[in-house]
Amino acid sequence: MKILYIHQNYSKSYTCLGETFLRELKKNSALKVFAFKFLKISTNKYLNKILELTFINKIYFNVQNKNILNRIKIEKPDLVFIFKGTNVNAETLLAIKSLDFKIKIATFNPDDPYNIQSCGANIRNAISSNDYYFIWSKELVKKIKEEGVHKTFYIPFATDPELIKFSASPKLSYDITFIGNVDTERIEWITKIAEVIKINKLKISLDVFGAGWREIEGVKMHSQVNGQEYFDVIRASKCNLNILRLQNKNATNMRTFEVPSCGGIMYHEESIEATLFFKKEDPVFFFKSEDDLIKKYLVNNDHIHMLKEKTEELSERFKKSPNTYADRISNMIRLLEEK
């Protein structure tokens, strides 16, 4: 199968999932994969804001959409595989479908295509042009099928053993940490957790790492951490908070797999789908509320060294189980090849 893989990686934050997908696709000897990577004029966020306001970025992306069509006409792939598709115009997909040779279109979206904060109109308008759609939520599978994409499949997030290496932390430097950029839901959670700690006069530090945060009483703010520093903070924390965004409620997110894979102790907002990936004895604890979180943290904090011993076992299990991106890609290829 000949595949054109379309992706974008405008800022290298956290784990660059689009790059992981490309690497795993290229490993499959039965596939011939060539990539088209969307680029920005500048990586400077302030200059880009100006370019967006003057529509220069839009013109630049339209040119890249035309380049996609030209590449397809030359290469004649069997499949166009889109990772999210932030700047792939819906009109481009319609043009692909109208070409005089057969070509299938598939998308993996790591976000909710119906969430306007994480996905633009291009993504929503392009849904029905897909022959295949892969998504990490069982609820979203139902919703996308209702748009006529009958070959929509549940593909949860996973771990990347080539990127995420287990390493025992020499020192537990933080009590409770949250790593992630700001949004309204997260502000509410962090504020309430800080209030519970204050009201109960607990000697618990609360640290947040991410962009866009303003000062919250009782919380120490840090800048965003990426790459190895991101994993170092996870391993150095007694409690890594996984607060689910509205789009991920009762499902998983990338952090569901990243924290345990690198050797972190995770406190995960209650989720039906997420519980299916863990055993009772794993260093993973599900909480319903701010009070429930603090109660579970206090109970487990007495046994923190025992928990740290279990993180290596869980990390190894994830890397050997079907929960790697190599497994996810193999599953997707199998589904794409089915008649």
> Which CATH number covers residue 212?
3.40.50.2000
Domain count, the chain: 2
Rounded CA separation 233/255 (Å): 13
| Residues 291 and 238 occupy one common structural domain | yes
What pLDDT is stored for residue 290 in this prediction?
Answer: 94
| Residues 123 and 194 occupy one common structural domain | no
Q: Tell me 21's DSSP state.
A: H
Who contacts 76 (Cβ-Cβ below 8 Å, separation ≥6)?
A: 2, 101, 103
| Residues 261 and 233 occupy one common structural domain | yes
User: Considering the domain boundaries, does residue 164 fall inside one?
Assistant: no
| Residues 181 and 305 occupy one common structural domain | yes
User: Considering the domain boundaries, does residue 200 fall inside one?
Assistant: yes
| Residues 226 and 144 occupy one common structural domain | no
What pLDDT is stored for residue 268 in this prediction?
Answer: 97
User: Considering the domain boundaries, does residue 234 fall inside one?
Assistant: yes
User: Considering the domain boundaries, does residue 295 fall inside one?
Assistant: yes
| Residues 313 and 329 occupy one common structural domain | no
The pair of structure tokens assigned to 187 is: 């502000």
| Residues 83 and 202 occupy one common structural domain | no
Q: How many CA atoms are closer than 13 Å to the CA of 158, on its beta-carbon side?
A: 26
User: Considering the domain boundaries, does residue 61 fall inside one?
Assistant: yes
Q: CA-based angle 69:74:79, to the nearest 5?
A: 65
What pLDDT is stored for residue 258 in this prediction?
Answer: 92
Max CA pair span of the chain: 70
What pLDDT is stored for residue 14 in this prediction?
Answer: 53
The pair of structure tokens assigned to 39 is: 């680029």
User: Considering the domain boundaries, does residue 308 fall inside one?
Assistant: yes
| Residues 53 and 199 occupy one common structural domain | no
Distance of CA 300 to the CA centre of its chain: 28
Domain boundaries, position 98:
2-156+324-337
Q: Tell me 290's DSSP state.
A: H
What pLDDT is stored for residue 170 in this prediction?
Answer: 67
| Residues 40 and 117 occupy one common structural domain | yes
How confident is the prediction along the chain (339 residues), in pLDDT tens digits per residue? 999 999 986 555 556 889 999 999 999 999 999 999 888 777 676 777 777 777 787 888 889 999 999 999 999 999 999 999 888 999 999 999 999 889 999 999 999 999 887 788 889 999 999 999 999 999 999 999 999 999 999 999 999 998 887 777 668 899 999 998 888 889 999 999 999 999 999 999 999 999 889 999 999 999 998 888 899 999 999 999 999 887 788 888 999 999 999 999 999 999 999 999 999 999 999 999 999 999 999 999 888 888 888 998 999 998 887 889 999 999 999 999 986
First to last CA, the chain: 14
| Residues 43 and 147 occupy one common structural domain | yes
User: Considering the domain boundaries, does residue 168 fall inside one?
Assistant: no
| Residues 44 and 138 occupy one common structural domain | yes
Rounded CA separation 87/90 (Å): 9
User: Considering the domain boundaries, does residue 166 fall inside one?
Assistant: no
| Residues 212 and 143 occupy one common structural domain | no
